[in-house]
Amino acid sequence: MARRWDPHRRDRIIDTALECIAEHGVAGTTHRVLAARCDVPLGSMTYHFSGMDELLLEAFGRYAARVRDMVSARLDQELETEAAIEAVVALIHDDFQGDVTGGVISYELYALASRRPEFRPFTHDLIDVGLTALRRHFTEDAARAINTYIEGVSTHLVIDTQPPTVSHTRETIRRLASGSAVVSATSSAQSAVQ
């Protein structure tokens, strides 16, 4: 049998791994399942990846780049405060809520990173990407609070039967941006001393 030329096989396997993670979780994503879904010989998996960990690292790296692009498209520009608030709302409800697969992948990554330290750089990078973008538009305390809200609400968008509405998110981001719902680490420390 002639060998089939497939120059994009490695990329296809990585993309399929992300689809499989979204459908079956990390535990259900195996070389055998991926080989069948990609219609490639099982031996091709070990040719392209030293093991499942390398494949998962590649897949989650690709996912992190996708999130970075979404955040960048919304927030890597000069925006007035109200426009920045609307950009955050759109990021949450248009981009993240519209990408249910991505939400599940994120959830799987966070669960994996909680048990496997080698995956924590991805979770750190995802948090840092948001925080860095938000600092362009909000104070440090507000950026941290908004970033924490984004992380939490992203989970709710995947698992909650009644996720927050756009208007609720807008009001929450507005309050966090104004500082009315934020207590800074400095003021908390000062209050504790008094």
Q: What is the pLDDT of residue 15?
A: 95
CB atoms within 10 A of CB 131: 17
Tokens of 173: 């981001």
Domain boundaries, the chain: 60-183
CATH placement of domain 60-183: 1.10.357.10
Measure the CA dihedral 80/106/63/66, to 10°.
Answer: -20
How far, CA to CA in Å, does 58 sit from each of 15, 40, 155?
10, 18, 23
Residue 182 and residue 145 in contact, taking contact as beta carbons nearer than 8 Å: yes
DSSP string, 110-171: HHHHHH-GGGHHHHHHHHHHHHHHHHTTS-HHHHHHHHHHHHHHHHHHHH-SSPPPHHHHHH
pLDDT in tens for each of the 194 residues of the chain?
445 666 788 999 999 999 999 999 999 999 999 999 998 888 888 888 999 999 999 999 999 999 999 999 999 999 999 999 999 999 999 999 988 888 899 989 999 999 999 999 999 999 999 999 999 999 999 999 999 999 999 888 888 899 899 999 999 999 999 987 655 555 544 544 55
Q: What is the pLDDT of residue 184?
A: 53
Q: What is the pLDDT of residue 1?
A: 43
What gap in Å lies between CA 100 and CA 77, rounded to an integer? 26
